[in-house]
Amino acid sequence: MSFINYSSREINCKIVYYGPGLCGKTTNLQYIYNKTNPETKGKLISLSTETDRTLFFDFLPLSLGEIRGFKTRFHLYTVPGQVFYDASRKLILKGVDGVVFVADSQVERMEANIESMENLRVNLQDQGYDLNKIPFVVQYNKRDLPNAVSEDELRKVLNPRKVPDYPAVAPTGVGVFDTLKSVAKLVLTELKKGGA
């Protein structure tokens, strides 16, 4: 749910990175944070455990520039991927405008990917959203690992709707900005329709 402020001429949108534990959601945000100009980004907040696992969420505010005199601001959030943090995941989806699903390409994580995708669908439904309608992008992360499943196979299982999808290696930035731009574009297009 975007926030449009006519007075300060700003539009704020919320994008959530979803996916199974250790798939690279936080790494996506860290790469974006490291590679953007200081004037276009705010502080990266990570609420994590002592072992650097996301406990509640990561948060990164980004400015993307102006459209027709309105400053566009995107608030990027990640959810905690570990299965038992489901109550927290549900909360973070509140008011979401667009979702990125980060899949772990490793063959042994296929089941976790499928479970997380199903969990996303259910949790979105609980908040009154439909995964088939919301701006949605899939990222196949960890493409550099030797045990990665082929993109075609991942696509078949995780992206039957054929939404935009991108291969990625988040620590080196491959696919990270393509994914972000794609979801941001979908969110703005949805706003244009007036449906957000």
SS3 call for 185: helix
Give the residue, chosen from 29, 110, 183, 184, that forms a contact with other proteins under the rule CB under 8 A. Answer: 184
Site for other proteins in 158-177 (CB under 8 A): none
- Min dist CB 5 to other proteins, Å, is 4
Give the residue, chosen from 39, 51, 108, 128, that forms a contact with other proteins under the rule CB under 8 A. Answer: 128
H, E, C per residue of 51-119? CCCEEEEEEEEEEEEEECCEEEEEEEEECCCCHHHHHHHHHHCCCCCEEEEEEECEHHHHHHHHHHHHH
Which distant-in-sequence residues (6+ apart) come within 8 Å of 157 by Cβ? Answer: 110, 113, 114
Residue 38 has what DSSP assignment?
G
Question: Which two structure tokens, joined as six digits, stand for 187?
Answer: 């969110």
Site for other proteins in 6-65 (CB under 8 A): 6-8, 11-12, 14, 42-43, 45, 47, 56-57, 59, 61, 64-65
Determine, following the binding rule CB under 8 A, whether residue 70 of this chain makes contact with other proteins.
yes
Give the residue, chosen from 34, 49, 67, 107, that forms a contact with other proteins under the rule CB under 8 A. Answer: 67
Site for other proteins in 94-113 (CB under 8 A): 94-95
Q: How far is CA 189 from CA 35, 49, 95, 193, in A?
A: 25, 37, 17, 6
> Considering beta carbons, is residue 105 or 123 the nearer one to other proteins?
123
> Where on the chain is the footprint of other proteins (CB under 8 A)?
1-8, 11-12, 14, 42-43, 45, 47, 56-57, 59, 61, 64-65, 67-68, 70, 72, 75, 87-88, 90-92, 94-95, 128-129, 181, 184-185, 188-189, 191-196
